[in-house]
Chain A
């Protein structure tokens, strides 16, 4: 069975600071991993995904994530936060036909 744990329901950073959102997964098969972002009053949209190949994945808006099998992690990072990054972020793992979403991490960006 697959599962996802996002560490920290809320993360607050200053504008220009590093963003680090943590995600750990559990999977009995090679995982397919996703990060989605949800802006207020909108649906989720894909930031980036890992399927196979290169373990460092680049996404939209300057975000990237690294798949670390030994640590069962897929943390999301961005070198410099922008006010427009304030949103909720969801890590997800594919298990067969189901996508298992984490509980979400709300990112606050302070001016």
Chain B
């Protein structure tokens, strides 16, 4: 298995532009997580999907952020419009969980390093 795939690996954009980050989870996993990592705030959970349905988006910073999971093999995280404070590494992770139980490990992608100028 290729693991969790994220694209692009690096993104540099200007303030006000739309940014779309993409994730392909591991086949067979039914849970998908988007995280943001910065030096100041550490690792933050943005949103969690189970069976393609958003379960908890309380970590999404504001309305400029949105995430979708149209099918079991693809998810996007969109920022519109982007701001310099959105600069961070964004990770996608997947796992297999049953209902509300997530006892299994999460498998992380390599991350997308976003720089907003």
Q: Which of A's residues lie within 8 Å of B, judged by CB?
A: 32, 34, 41-46, 49, 51, 90, 94, 96-99, 101, 103-104
Query: Which residues 92-108 of B have a CB within 8 angstroms of A?
Result: 93, 97, 100-103, 105-108
Stretch in contact with the other chain, from B14-22, B48-56, B60-68: B48-56
A-B residue pair count with CB separations less than 8 angstroms: 52
Taking CB atoms, residues of chain B closer than 8 Å to A46 are 105-106
Taking CB atoms, residues of chain B closer than 8 Å to A101 are 42-43
The reply on B91 being an interface residue by CB < 8 A is yes
A96→B109 contact, CB < 8 A? no
A43-B4, A97-B55, A98-B48 known; A49 vs B105 contact (CB < 8 Å): yes
Cβ contacts B68-111/A at 8 Å (1 or 0 each): 00000000000000000000000101000100111101111111
The reply on B116 being an interface residue by CB < 8 A is no
Q: Which of B's residues lie within 8 Å of A, judged by CB?
A: 4, 31, 33, 42-43, 45, 48, 50, 55-56, 91, 93, 97, 100-103, 105-111
Min CB gap A49→B, angstroms: 6
* Bound-state Cα–Cα, A59 to B74, Å: 31
B43→A90 contact, CB < 8 A? yes
Taking CB atoms, residues of chain A closer than 8 Å to B111 are 41-43
Some 30 contacts from A to B, beta carbons below 8 A apart, are A34-B105, A41-B111, A42-B111, A43-B91, A43-B93, A43-B109, A43-B110, A43-B111, A44-B43, A44-B91, A44-B108, A45-B108, A49-B105, A51-B103, A96-B100, A96-B101, A96-B102, A97-B48, A97-B56, A97-B97, A97-B101, A97-B102, A98-B45, A98-B48, A98-B56, A99-B33, A99-B102, A99-B106, A101-B43, A104-B42
* Bound-state Cα–Cα, A44 to B97, Å: 18
Min CB gap A101→B, angstroms: 5
* Bound-state Cα–Cα, A32 to B103, Å: 7
Taking CB atoms, residues of chain B closer than 8 Å to A44 are 43, 91, 93, 106, 108
Taking CB atoms, residues of chain A closer than 8 Å to B4 are 43
* Bound-state Cα–Cα, A42 to B108, Å: 9
* Bound-state Cα–Cα, A32 to B97, Å: 13
